Amino acid sequence: MRICTLLFSGSFLAGVMLLLVSCGQRHGVSRDWPMYGGNEGGNRYADLRQINRDNVKDLQVAWIYNSADTVTAGGKRHSQQHEIQCQPIIVDGILYGTSPTLELFALRAGTGEELWKFNPFKGHGFRFNQCRGVTYWTDGTQRRLFYAAGSDLYAVDAGTGQPAAGFGDSGRVSLYTGLDLNHDVQHLYVTATSPGIVYKNTLIIGSAVSESGDAAPGYIRGFDVLTGKMTWIFHSIPQPGEPGYDTWPKGAYQWAGGTNNWAGLVLDEKRGTIYFGTGSPSSDFYGGDRAGDNLFANCIMALDAATGKVKWYYQIIHHDLWDRDIPCPPNLTTIRHNGKLTDVVVQATKDGLVYVLDRDSGTSLFPVEERPVPVPGLPGEHPSPTQRYPVKPLPMSHQTITDSDITDLSPAAHAYVQKIFDATSPAAKNKFMPPSIAGTVLVGYSGGAEWGGNAIDSEGVFYQNVNDAPWLLQMISMKDRQKEMAGLSQGYGLYMANCAACHGADRKGNGHEIPALADIGHRLKKEEIASILKNGQGRMPSFQQQLSDQQRTVIIGWLVSGGKAAPMVAAEHRDTSKSGRHTDGKAAPFPYIPPYVSKVWDKLTDSDGYPGIKPPWGTLNAIDLTTGDYRWRVPLGEFPELTKKGIPVTGMESYGGPLVTAGGLIFIAGTRDELIRAFDKNTGKIVWSYHLPAAGFATPVTYEVDGIQYIVIAAGGGRGLKTSGNYIAFALPKNDLAGPTAGSEKLREEKKPE
């Protein structure tokens, strides 16, 4: 209707320009891909249609850029052992991304030609983290890029690749800034895995912190883009006089950690509002020290972008005991609801749920029920008596596991899993069963949704890749853990106490995101292992506080020797008898060692390592947000060895999200079969795939340069597979570009009603 009004007013040109701006804000219209998620709303949608359903089969490699292995420390080359999770950005035909070792680079987006590279660790020690993207800012004269490497926030001149003059200390600001009011944080794990977002001249960013008792607080902060000075801070663990303070024990802000935004943020510039989700409070699986609902953990939030003040919040988990962080940025879009256009925030969760909230009030557009849940927990625990259950859309992944869900790949596989299942407190009883000594089947840990996010097209259809595999969690008291350690060698005892819960007593990891350590001495030097233990890396926290230098040395020696070093002696351990929290407002011992810790924390698999439930184990989903109904759901990923046996495609875990285009296509990689695929967005049918040289655990992007549309993916491998530093661009052959770029009539994009 807006078009007609503008035409009849006589302001045709102005009307067209206004319409283009409006559509650009709503649907992400751009030839570039200027920010994480494509636009401020994080839609991962591009109004490009040169590549479409008819010609996508002709896509070919346009260029490959190898970003790996140029960082040096002390004159020595650092081993390339890191995956790339980066979704690059493209501004004015220049592509900006990061290498596996966190070097920032600039390329000509049409050719892959390197323009410059920036080494954040030049003159500094290594402290690696995952980097999922960078942030661009310009005032029309200056152009800057912002990203985190280790515990520092860097500002880099986008034209030269040199540190930005006037920003902090030689272009960097400590990410500990503002966190040390009540905590000694300087030796704790603090970084930022997802990029920030810029509102006017303020860079707003979250953080990644430990998930154990040594977690720093996860406050959200705003920094001046020119000076690096912190301009505001939001205390996600409330302080006295702040909203939510009474949902924690008195004085909890002095010692509590976590409740961080590690997944990224989105911006509604017109409203001056940022939207994001928060993680769980520490420690993950025991909360006896933090009675209450624990605001603002596990919340979808809206803050004033200029001040950091709370506009509204919506808590999806009360008193989280299951590590159900909000795992990806929200997505801002507009849908027709009850006959009118409504601006909404769409948030997917680890347990496979989708919340659709009004952007102004935070109220849900679809029914959500508050239901009673089991409350018996470990001694000293305080589980919430109720939790939220969205009624619509229906969950994208299992909410409970029953006997009928157990794998039937073979009788042997079924019997293997059934035995484990029978010995636990299965999620069949309730997905909110508190952790226990007997063990709990945990759903919603590594998906539902994950950090790659989701895409929404111009019709209001939501696309999300989902993981669906159970985990097994078993707790143990620290007293019993110490008894177990007493007869072990010192190295093995320290390993069992600090490492085995993730990497396994056999040091085999899980073959995916938790690497095997059995051969680590052949892959890494002792000093490299020491750096990881001390500083943390990826999901692994720093052990600088929990372990002394001598203890870390003992663990390294035991690992490098293949678990054969050190005679049998009483294992060294810390006295935890006085490590309980004070709840009278006084400072508590730090780092905190909870009285119950995880003994087993691993995927529930069959004897061959496949998920312990019936497939599909990974899916791609399309949900119509106007109705909350599914349009389609298909498996994502394939185990070729199972397909050869006649087993239908099972799907598999994926890390990295989807990209949707006006060409009627969804592009997504993220699977261990090393494929990038294109799906028909109307049907969910695969219409193209390409075998990457290494798995693409990242989200693809698209853009146009000199009239050519490109698709780019970081194919860095990792997660137990081979690693690479490659960014790969795809485009159509030149002869395919001679015809109309809009595609056939059936590709005509349906616009939302005005």
DSSP-derived 3-state class of residue 5: helix
Specify the pairing of strand 331-337 against strand 340-348: antiparallel
pLDDT digits (tens, 9 = 90+) for 231-276: 999 999 999 999 999 999 999 999 999 999 999 999 999 999 999 9
Q: Which of 98-107, 144-153, 504-513 has the lowest mean pLDDT?
A: 504-513
539 pLDDT band, cuts 50/70/90, is: low
- Contacts (Cβ under 8 Å, ≥6 apart) of 405: 398, 613, 614
pLDDT digits (tens, 9 = 90+) for 652-704: 999 999 999 999 999 999 999 999 999 999 999 999 999 999 999 999 999 99
Cα(254)–Cα(259) distance, integer angstroms: 14
CA 451 to chain centre: 3
Average predicted confidence (pLDDT) for the chain:
87
**Is the bond into 616 cis (omega within 30 degrees of 0)?**
yes
Three-state SS for 536-577 is: CECCECCCCCCCCHHHHHHHHHHHHCCCCCCCCCCCCCCCCC
CA quadruple 72, 77, 78, 83: dihedral positive or negative?
A: positive
Cα(686)–Cα(629) distance, integer angstroms: 22
Cα(549)–Cα(217) distance, integer angstroms: 25
Beta strands in 279-375 (DSSP E): 299-304, 310-315, 331-337, 340-348, 354-358, 368-372
* pLDDT given at position 747: 39
53 pLDDT band, cuts 50/70/90, is: very high
Structure tokens at 499: 């490492």
What are the C-alpha distances in Å from 465 to residues 350, 408, 453? 11, 24, 8
Q: What superfamily does domain 474-603 belong to in CATH?
A: Cytochrome c-like domain (1.10.760.10)
Cα(30)–Cα(26) distance, integer angstroms: 11
* pLDDT given at position 538: 56
Share of the chain above pLDDT 70, in %: 85
Beta strands in 67-192 (DSSP E): 72-73, 76-77, 89-91, 94-98, 104-108, 114-118, 135-138, 143-149, 152-157, 172-174, 190-191
**Is the bond into 296 cis (omega within 30 degrees of 0)?**
yes
Between 265 and 68, name the one with better pLDDT.
265
* pLDDT given at position 540: 67
Hunting for tokens 């990826």 — which residue is that? 538
pLDDT digits (tens, 9 = 90+) for 28-44: 344 999 999 999 999 99
Closest CA to 42 of 465, 469, 345, 491: 345
Whole-prediction pTM: 0.89
What are the C-alpha distances in Å from 701 to residues 33, 42, 101, 152? 7, 12, 21, 26
* pLDDT given at position 580: 43
* pLDDT given at position 554: 86
Cα(552)–Cα(555) distance, integer angstroms: 5
- Contacts (Cβ under 8 Å, ≥6 apart) of 571: 485, 486, 487, 488, 489, 490, 492, 493, 494, 496, 497
Cα(88)–Cα(728) distance, integer angstroms: 11
> Contact, 750 vs 27, CB < 8 A?
no
Judged against a pLDDT cut of 60, whether residue 564 lies above it is answered with: yes
Judged against a pLDDT cut of 70, whether residue 541 lies above it is answered with: no
* pLDDT given at position 582: 45
